[in-house]
Structure 1
Amino acid sequence: MGMHSRVVYFGIVDSLIVFFSVYVSTVVMFPSSDVFSLQLLILSSTLIVCHHVFASYNKLYKRAWEYAGVEEMVVIFKSITLSVVLATAVQFFISADVYLRVLASAWMIQLLFISASRFSWRWYRDKKVAGRSVKEGKRTLIIGAGSAGTMVARQMKNKSNCDLLPVAFIDDDPRKHQLHILSLPVVGGMDLLADTIEDMQIEKLIIAIPSLSKKELSMIKEKCLQTGVETQSVPMYEDLVMGKLTVTDMKEVKIDDLLGRHPVDLETAAMEGFISGRTVLVTGAGGSIGSEICRQLSQFSPSRVVLLGHGENSIYAIEMELKESFGDHVEYVTEIADIKDRERMFDIMHKYEPEVVIHAAAHKHVPLMEKNPDEAIRNNVWGTKNVAEAADAWGVATFVMISSDKAVNPTSVMGSTKRVAEMIVKDLDKQSATRFVAVRFGNVLGSRGSVIPRFVDQIKRGGPVTVTDPEMTRYFMTIPEASKLVLQAASLAQGGEIFVLDMGEPVKIVDLARNLIELSGFREDEIGITFTGVRPGEKLYEELLNVDEIQEEQVHPRIHVGVSPEVDVAEVMDRVEAALLQDAATIRTTLLEIANRGQTLTPAAL
């Protein structure tokens, strides 16, 4: 039924119910009275008009009654009660005779029949679903019999293309034990998990308690993993109430679910003030970090976003995605360009004159850059210099360079080029009206070339999962987390800072591999883990801050800040340029010497 047909249908039904409720009430209350009097006609007409006024105000005709619940019942009650009260007031002013008993009886009749007319819609739909042939699929146990679990079970039952069959709930709330929800039993608490899986031949576990703390969720997930049954969890509760969750969208439990810390809390007002109404240019906009930064900043209503990248496919993909999600209020333009092309960077900067530039384009693969140090310099150093100086020339207000924890005491070509790029940005800030800052963070879960996608592919192929060293340790952050913090740091920029994102506690790569194997429904002895040795340029332990970088005060609970010491950037660039004429080994040695000179950061004056 279309929206227009729905409004007409329910409008007619409600009008008839309201009209006859007055006459039925009159006959019941005053059997000998004249039911065809002008006063009763006026009363019923007034009541119909009042009902439609409040029904329209409360959107009573635009609700999906096949999903009706308590909220819809409250709306019906409010609409009918307010319409009767208003009709009573109107009747009082028209005539001193007010049929209070008739109105009270009419109120009850309307409440009963209008509610019945709506909830019969849901009853019919549920009956129709229940009347279908018995559904087959993986026998699924839902952990959590609350609103999230109920919604998951209902969608499993109603989705014809879902291959999951809900059979029961588990919930630690003793008040729910032995109850039935959507005809599914709540068999008990988590202590009965193993027995329930065996007795009911469970093939799938769904964790549907997204409102719990990260620590509590981690404990439940670990218990599920110990059973060896394939486990999934639902997305955050906000996705449920916004209607974003479907059974086929169920999120696989991934490593970031077990990192044991909450997402960062951000000052959205500061970011909105920094982004709203401005033109923002993002280099590397098709990459993992660049594309997510574009998604995040689009929420703060920039007037225009320039998507600059070297790969046409990735730029096209992010353009289409952003236009679909935010195209109604944000203008998106694309530029396929190489940051190594200095003249092109100046032309693009002149063409759009952005107020904010976020420089995310870079070569980041450590072992590949060890083999190609000249390309690392041209892209990460000269490319950054080109974009930064173009931003300076055309009066950009804020320039943000995405850096890396590998720039701290670098042992690799990639880290060294990032450190030199930080020097360039810092030096430009001293002589430019543009605020130049760098934001440094560690490994990002799920980014292209990172360990998680590689581990997932290896597990899908049956293993083994390859880890470089049993002691290899890294800091981790999710892509949205890193992107939001970049924008937060940028909104706090005064100029010249190197912002360092707090990544929480470091995690051993081998522990991530073991957890991911278990989360995928396998045992370590089935998939296997092999150690391949530390790759060229890699450290066992990454650093986010030197000892003397740490200061007592932070600009944000998850953001440290420091300013690098004075460096003769002209001399640095001369040495880098001279190194390009040498062989790869000499280039690497020169870069490490330059980058490890003057590493100490001093606290910023905030």
Structure 2
Amino acid sequence: MTSFLSLSRLYKQLIAAALDVFFLPLTFCLAIWLRYDGLNSFLLHQYALLMIVAPLISIPIFIRLGLYRAVIRFIDHKIVYVVVFGVTLSVVALGALGTFTQTNGYSRAVFGIYWVSAILYVAASRFLARGYFLHISGVTGGVRVAIYGAGQAGSQLASALRSSNEYAPMAFIDDKKELHRATIAGIKVFPANDLPDLIARYDLREVLLAMPSQTKAQQKRILDQLEPLKVKIKVTPPIKSLINGELRVQDVREVEIEDLLGRDQVDPNPELISACIVNKSVMVTGAGGSIGSELCRQIIRQHPSRLILLEMSEFGLYSIEQELRELQKSLGLNIELLPFLGSVLETEKCERIMHTFSIETVYHAAAYKHVPLVEHNPIEGIRNNVFGTLSVAKAAMAAGVKSFVLISTDKAVRPTNVMGSTKRFAELILQAFSRLQAKQASRTRFCMVRFGNVLGSSGSVVPLFRKQIMAGGPITLTHPEITRYFMTIPEAAQLVLQAGAMGEGGDVFVLDMGEPVKIVDLAKRMVHLSGLEVMSDMTPDGTIEINHVGLRPGEKLYEELLIGENVEGTEHPLIMRAQEVEISWAVLQQLLAELDDACNRFAYEEVRALLLKTVAEYTPQCGIEDFIWRAKRQVPDAGEATLH
């Protein structure tokens, strides 16, 4: 039978037509027999012409209607309509022929019975062949899978998988008792409790979760149940993400961390998200970064009059500009899009851009954010994160920008590293500027938005873990107790846009990141849902090892979002307003001057002391890690040893 499946389409079509040539006359004989309660030589002689002509009339009609072009393994209920129409046409033509050639008269009942019988034969033969071929292909080829969800989406997915020849769906799993033991699209439905036995019986390699209408919380509960099975799990996207609402093979994807978090995204408030953007001239600094680029994607959908991109990386700027132009074209938007190569430290250039293009809203996402890299390069981190913010903020005030939103981080709360302390320093600058402008009639409204790790951003642990799992391990983890908050990039960007509209001046907004996630648990779940086992004392036969390499310079075990307890809600359920300690501009200005001088002299000890003095909550997790400073410290020591 596998040799038959490998035949060319033409040979298969000829075989199907030949079978119809043989069975259609037999079907006509059956109609005669049913009408007259038997057959005899007289009846056979009377209807001989019609029995011979029946396939000669039907086959051309079937060809014309495309019945033989249909691939038997992938037909569905729609083919019944083609069969009914084709058989009806052939019976009408056969009846007309009988009317003109009749000698002794034909019974109209024979044609009626033949019409019903022929429909049953043609349709049933196709579906029987389909079931058999699917069984053969399921046994011989494709990755054996079970589909969790026997509803419409599951049925669509089963058909799509069969057409791809990459998967062989062997069973449906569903929690609805009324579906248990039923057969859908030729596949039997089982309860979830049967999965361990089914995995062994059918040698299942993967379980595909086909329930796109479920919430993230409901999906997470199912993933929790499937995790102990140590079989690879794949999921389908939400129903609103599907093209035409139908599942395709390419829609099936690996389990992402957002699936494991069980966190449903709150729909944005249209008024808040558009308030600072619609018909306004908007600028995004760091437009090529993870957050900056997503802000650009969402801003352009809100129809600004102009979008200015400022980015230091030529490649990053080119990439986001090309993507946004494609997005503009696909959405039919007419928005002025201007890319600028440059640094936020170029105050005059930033001010000229803002003046020339009448910028009304600035989203300041430009920053160095990688904790160990900034720890090893503290001067550059301070320049970009502290003085870069100072530069853009001054330009914004000089140009009369109405709204300025700083993208901050949870690492600014009681920081243990240079990166976190520089982001808190940047917050203090904007708070000071807000108070400085308090009595001015026309002022720039500054606000800050803090959130934790975003999924899929550069440096995120999730793609790293997946890469390590695919390579067979080991997974490198800094510490078994480390936890982090997580949020998707689109959700974070949406909340930033909404928080920016609520700012009154000097506000520190904190996003509700849900519950913190223990990174070691995340790593283990990713291993289990990939169908593998973690190597440990309890499971020495595991395939993936987890190695703890120790905390990196400046890294902390737990992240926080609030410095104090003074926090209040806002009109958005996931956005809170925090009241933090401030420093006056007069004091801050002097500290900035001293910090600038220390950075110019590469006086690392003074830089560290000034950060500690300005950011009261800063408690360094390690000593000064700058490569130059460490190298210079080692050289004198070596010289002294030689002299002695």
Same fold? TM cut 0.5: yes
* Counterpart pick for 1:500 among 507, 510, 514: 510
8 Å contact from structure 2 (residues 239, 245) kept in 1: no
8 Å contact from structure 1 (residues 215, 260) kept in 2: yes
8 Å contact from structure 2 (residues 454, 492) kept in 1: yes
Question: How big is each residue's C-alpha offset from its partner over 1:52-97, in whole Å with a ceiling of 9 and x where there is no partner?
Answer: xxxxxxxxxxxxxx99999xx9xxxxxxxxxxxxxxxxxxxxxxxx
Aligned partner of 2:181 in structure 1 is 178
1:478 partner letter: T
2:338 partner letter: V
Matched, 1:547 2:559: no
Matched, 1:556 2:572: yes
Aligned partner of 1:169 in structure 2 is 172
The 1:527–1:330 alpha-carbon spacing in structure 2 relative to 1, beyond 3 Å, is farther
State how far apart, in whole Å, the 2-side matches of 1:495 and 1:245 are: 47
Stretch of structure 1 that moved more, 396-405 or 239-248? 239-248
Shift of 1:465: 1.2
Which structure 2 residues correspond to residues 293-332 of structure 1 after superposition, within 5 A?
293-327=295-329, 328-331=332-335, 332=337
State how far apart, in whole Å, the 2-side matches of 1:420 and 1:67 are: 65
8 Å contact from structure 1 (residues 410, 596) kept in 2: no
User: Percent identity of the aligned residues?
Assistant: 44
* Counterpart pick for 2:549 among 511, 532, 536: 532
2:469 partner letter: I
Matched, 1:518 2:518: no
When the two structures are superposed, what TM-score results if normalisation uses the length of structure 1? Answer: 0.74
Shift of 1:597: 6.4
Matched, 1:339 2:344: yes
Matched, 1:452 2:468: no
The 1:147–1:343 alpha-carbon spacing in structure 2 relative to 1, beyond 3 Å, is same
Question: How big is each residue's C-alpha offset from its partner over 1:329-370, in whole Å with a ceiling of 9 and x where there is no partner?
Answer: 152321121212223222322332222111111000111111
8 Å contact from structure 1 (residues 475, 503) kept in 2: yes
Aligned partner of 1:422 in structure 2 is 427
Aligned partner of 1:150 in structure 2 is 155
State how far apart, in whole Å, the 2-side matches of 1:376 and 1:223 are: 44
State how far apart, in whole Å, the 2-side matches of 1:330 and 1:586 are: 51
Question: How big is each residue's C-alpha offset from its partner over 1:3-25, in whole Å with a ceiling of 9 and x where there is no partner?
Answer: xxxxxxxxxxxxxxxxxxxxxxx
Shift of 1:151: 2.2
Shift of 1:461: 2.2
The 1:354–1:182 alpha-carbon spacing in structure 2 relative to 1, beyond 3 Å, is farther
State how far apart, in whole Å, the 1-side matches of 2:418 and 2:448 are: 18
State how far apart, in whole Å, the 1-side matches of 2:235 and 2:496 are: 28
Matched, 1:576 2:595: yes
Question: How big is each residue's C-alpha offset from its partner over 1:365-402, in whole Å with a ceiling of 9 and x where there is no partner?
Answer: 11111111110111111111121211222222211110
Which structure 2 residues correspond to residues 340-419 of structure 1 after superposition, within 5 A?
340-419=345-424
Shift of 1:289: 0.9
State how far apart, in whole Å, the 2-side matches of 1:131 and 1:262 are: 38
Shift of 1:319: 2.0
The 1:488–1:462 alpha-carbon spacing in structure 2 relative to 1, beyond 3 Å, is same
When the two structures are superposed, what TM-score results if normalisation uses the length of structure 2? Answer: 0.69
The 1:403–1:254 alpha-carbon spacing in structure 2 relative to 1, beyond 3 Å, is same
State how far apart, in whole Å, the 2-side matches of 1:197 and 1:520 are: 15
1:546 partner letter: I
State how far apart, in whole Å, the 2-side matches of 1:157 and 1:425 are: 59
Aligned partner of 1:596 in structure 2 is 616
Stretch of structure 1 that moved more, 300-309 or 373-382? 300-309
2:172 partner letter: F
Shift of 1:292: 1.2
Matched, 1:261 2:270: no
In structure 1, the gaps of 5 or more residues are: 1-65, 74-115, 600-606
8 Å contact from structure 2 (residues 415, 618) kept in 1: no
Shift of 1:470: 1.5
1:474 partner letter: R
Shift of 1:237: 1.5
8 Å contact from structure 1 (residues 305, 330) kept in 2: no
SS of residue matched to 1:277: coil
* Counterpart pick for 2:487 among 474, 477, 492: 477
Which structure 2 residues correspond to residues 88-107 of structure 1 after superposition, within 5 A?
none
Aligned partner of 1:278 in structure 2 is 280
Shift of 1:449: 0.8
Stretch of structure 1 that moved more, 177-186 or 277-286? 177-186
State how far apart, in whole Å, the 1-side matches of 2:496 and 2:583 are: 24
8 Å contact from structure 1 (residues 232, 253) kept in 2: yes
1:433 partner letter: R
8 Å contact from structure 2 (residues 310, 339) kept in 1: yes
Shift of 1:133: 9.9
The 1:244–1:417 alpha-carbon spacing in structure 2 relative to 1, beyond 3 Å, is farther
* Counterpart pick for 2:471 among 461, 464, 485: 461
SS of residue matched to 2:276: helix
State how far apart, in whole Å, the 2-side matches of 1:549 and 1:490 are: 20
Aligned partner of 2:499 in structure 1 is 489
State how far apart, in whole Å, the 1-side matches of 2:531 and 2:281 are: 46
Stretch of structure 1 that moved more, 429-438 or 410-419? 429-438
State how far apart, in whole Å, the 2-side matches of 1:67 and 1:199 are: 28
Question: How big is each residue's C-alpha offset from its partner over 1:423-458, in whole Å with a ceiling of 9 and x where there is no partner?
Answer: 121222232611111111111122101221222222
8 Å contact from structure 1 (residues 496, 563) kept in 2: no
Question: How big is each residue's C-alpha offset from its partner over 1:98-154, in whole Å with a ceiling of 9 and x where there is no partner?
Answer: xxxxxxxxxxxxxxxxxx9xxx9xx99x98xx8999473111210001122122222
Question: How big is each residue's C-alpha offset from its partner over 1:226-254, in whole Å with a ceiling of 9 and x where there is no partner?
Answer: 22221101011211364585312322112
Matched, 1:436 2:446: yes
Aligned partner of 1:77 in structure 2 is none
Aligned partner of 2:222 in structure 1 is 220
1:247 partner letter: V
State how far apart, in whole Å, the 1-side matches of 2:364 and 2:76 are: 49
Question: How big is each residue's C-alpha offset from its partner over 1:228-282, in whole Å with a ceiling of 9 and x where there is no partner?
Answer: 2211010112113645853123221122212233223421232123322222211
Instruction: Decide which structure has the larger Cα Rg and report it.
Output: 2
2:151 partner letter: G
The 1:343–1:274 alpha-carbon spacing in structure 2 relative to 1, beyond 3 Å, is closer
State how far apart, in whole Å, the 1-side matches of 2:485 and 2:392 are: 29
State how far apart, in whole Å, the 1-side matches of 2:232 and 2:618 are: 51
1:168 partner letter: A
SS of residue matched to 2:557: coil
State how far apart, in whole Å, the 1-side matches of 2:610 and 2:252 are: 50
8 Å contact from structure 1 (residues 371, 584) kept in 2: no
SS of residue matched to 1:140: strand
* Counterpart pick for 2:607 among 587, 590, 594: 587
In structure 2, the gaps of 5 or more residues are: 1-73, 82-118, 536-542, 620-644
1:421 partner letter: A
8 Å contact from structure 1 (residues 144, 170) kept in 2: yes
1:570 partner letter: Q
Shift of 1:165: 2.3
2:350 partner letter: M
2:573 partner letter: P
State how far apart, in whole Å, the 1-side matches of 2:382 and 2:134 are: 67
1:511 partner letter: D
How many residue pairs get aligned? The number is 480
